[in-house]
């Protein structure tokens, strides 16, 4: 069990982290591992080099990072990876984070604790997540066709993921489905319509994501994978009634409401439409790298400061100063480009960044 930190007892929120464009940072994506039980072709190579275990932050260190951000006014923490549910004893981190939600009034800025998962372990952990205070999860589901799913994930079981989603819904979790649009794989009309209807039947919102040129993915070619969401949206709107929606999630997604299903459809389209302007997110990886932007190479290593044997107060002040100076460099937009060179725009893969 993690010991309580000073932050829980402190009712005041320290200065908020503000970037160079004047945006107040309100959302932290905290990656707890780069490991995963799937090998999605757009995310990593078949035999990825995972980060050295000695560099991976302990649950206590991750909790300390989270507390520090909460002390500076962060309102949402999304736990991610790699696959977060393969991290051993993850609930020992989530429980005290959930306690910060309960202790919110007057004590903590934290309003939501969420998680992104591939769903394979949800059947086992859905109830635990709910009891830790999590109410919403995002689950990646790129195809409802067993063969396509298995090919895309290099051997993953669709049945396991669907059972995980059902378990999450039964446990009372709201589930949003994430689907990476992949040319020639999952963007044809029957496949898209099936996913839209399936989400509607289960009361799930659905967000499509453009593939992003991140890291070495072996023999796979980004240009071949890429499918523009402007095109997908146009095609969906020919068959479904889409209404403008003002729904926002603090990131680059834009939403419409599908009248037939009554659910939101999100589009994260960094390549065809850049909606970085209102982004108030930052990411901390499982090794303590702070990235102010998903699509920029620059970041800063917090691990040394986290492992500095100074007394907690001084070390936390040094960490806060470091974070504030890095956040200040958050730029207005990303550096993603997909072209025939098939070069990655940033060298780290998504699983190592915390997607």
Using CB under 6 A, list all residues that contact ligand SF4. Answer: 36, 38-40, 43-44, 81-83, 118, 140, 350-351
The listed partner (ligand SF4, ligand SAM, none) that binds 7, CB under 5 to 8 Å by sort, is none
- Which residue's C-beta sits nearest to ligand SAM? 355
| 3-class SS string, 266-304 | EEECCCCCCCHHHCCEEEECCCCEEECCCCCCCCEECHH
Q: Is 351 in the site for ligand SAM (CB under 6 A)?
A: yes
Max Cα–Cα distance, the chain, nearest Å: 61
Kindly indicate which of the ranges 55-63, 66-74, 77-85, 183-191 contains the residues binding ligand SAM, using the contact rule CB under 6 A.
77-85
Q: Which helix (H) or strand (E) is 306 found in, with range? A: helix 303-306
**Backbone φ/ψ region at 144: left (φ over 0), alpha (ψ -120 to 50), beta:** alpha
The listed partner (ligand SAM, ligand SF4, none) that binds 117, CB under 5 to 8 Å by sort, is ligand SAM
| Residue among 118 and 186 whose Cβ is closer to ligand SF4 | 118
Fill in the per-residue mask, 115 to 154: x = in contact with ligand SAM (CB under 6 A), - = not in contact: -xxx---------------------x--------------
| Residue among 38 and 181 whose Cβ is closer to ligand SF4 | 38
DSSP string of 208-227?
EEE---BS--TT--HHHHB-
The listed partner (ligand SAM, ligand SF4, none) that binds 214, CB under 5 to 8 Å by sort, is ligand SAM
Q: Which of 338, 337, 335, 342 is nearest to 220 (CA)?
A: 342
- Phi, psi for residue 300 in degrees, rounded to 5: -140, 145
Fill in the per-residue mask, 206 to 225: x = in contact with ligand SAM (CB under 6 A), - = not in contact: ---x-xx-x-----------
Would you say 354 and 345 are in contact if contact means Cβ atoms under 8 Å apart? no
The radius of gyration of the chain from alpha carbons, rounded to an integer in Å, stands at: 20
Cβ at position 155, least distance to ligand SAM in Å: 15
Q: Is 77 in the site for ligand SAM (CB under 6 A)?
A: no
The listed partner (ligand SAM, ligand SF4, none) that binds 168, CB under 5 to 8 Å by sort, is none
The listed partner (ligand SF4, ligand SAM, none) that binds 70, CB under 5 to 8 Å by sort, is none
Kindly indicate which of the ranges 97-105, 110-118, 297-305, 337-345 contains the residues binding ligand SAM, using the contact rule CB under 6 A.
110-118
Q: Is 42 in the site for ligand SAM (CB under 6 A)?
A: yes
The residues near 2 (Cβ < 8 Å, ≥ 6 apart) are: 59, 60, 63, 92, 93, 96
| Residue among 74 and 350 whose Cβ is closer to ligand SAM | 350
Would you say 282 and 73 are in contact if contact means Cβ atoms under 8 Å apart? no
| Number of residues lying near ligand SAM (CB under 6 A) | 19
Q: Is 178 in the site for ligand SAM (CB under 6 A)?
A: yes
Cβ at position 126, least distance to ligand SAM in Å: 15
Distance CA 198, CA 194 (A): 6
Report how far Cα 327 is from the mean position of its chain's Cα atoms: 18
Q: Residue 313 CB: number of other CB atoms within 10 A?
A: 9
DSSP letter (8 states) at residue 81: S
What is the contact surface with ligand SAM in residues (CB under 6 A)?
Answer: 36, 42-43, 80-81, 83, 116-118, 140, 178, 180, 209, 211-212, 214, 350-351, 355
């Amino acid at each position: 069990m993690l010991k309580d930190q000073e932050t829980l007892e402190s009712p005041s929120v320290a200065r908020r982290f503000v970037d160079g464009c004047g945006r107040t940072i309100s959302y932290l994506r905290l990656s707890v591992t780069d490991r995963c039980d799937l090998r999605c072709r757009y995310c990593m190579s078949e035999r990825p080099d995972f980060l050295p275990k000695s560099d991976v932050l302990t649950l206590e260190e991750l909790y300390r990072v989270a507390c520090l951000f909460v002390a500076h006014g962060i309102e949402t923490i999304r736990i991610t990876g790699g696959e977060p549910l393969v991290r051993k004893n993850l609930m020992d981190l989530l429980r005290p984070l959930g306690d910060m939600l309960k202790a919110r009034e007057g004590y903590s800025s934290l309003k939501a604790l969420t998680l992104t998962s591939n769903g394979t372990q949800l059947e086992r952990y859905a109830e635990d997540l709910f009891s830790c205070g999590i109410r919403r999860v995002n689950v990646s589901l790129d195809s409802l066709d067993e063969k396509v799913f298995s090919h895309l994930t290099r051997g993953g079981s669709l049945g396991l993921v669907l059972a995980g989603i059902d378990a999450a819904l039964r446990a009372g979790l709201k589930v949003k489905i994430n689907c990476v649009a992949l040319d020639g794989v999952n963007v044809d009309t029957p496949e898209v319509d099936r996913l839209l209807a399936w989400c509607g039947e289960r009361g799930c919102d659905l967000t499509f994501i453009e593939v992003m040129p991140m890291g070495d993915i072996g023999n796979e070619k980004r240009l071949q994978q890429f499918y523009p969401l402007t095109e997908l949206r146009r095609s969906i709107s020919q068959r479904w009634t889409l209404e403008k929606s003002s729904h926002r999630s603090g990131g680059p997604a834009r939403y419409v409401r599908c009248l037939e299903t009554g659910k939101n459809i999100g589009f994260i389209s960094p390549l065809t439409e850049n909606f970085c302007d209102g982004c108030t997110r930052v990411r901390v990886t499982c090794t303590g790298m702070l990235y102010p932007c998903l699509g920029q190479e620059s970041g800063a290593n917090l691990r040394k400061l986290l492992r500095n044997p100074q007394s907690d107060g001084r070390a936390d002040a040094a960490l806060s100063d470091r974070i504030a100076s890095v956040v200040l460099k958050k730029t207005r937009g990303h550096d993603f480009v997909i072209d025939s060179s098939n070069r990655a725009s940033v060298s780290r893969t998504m699983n190592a960044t915390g997607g």
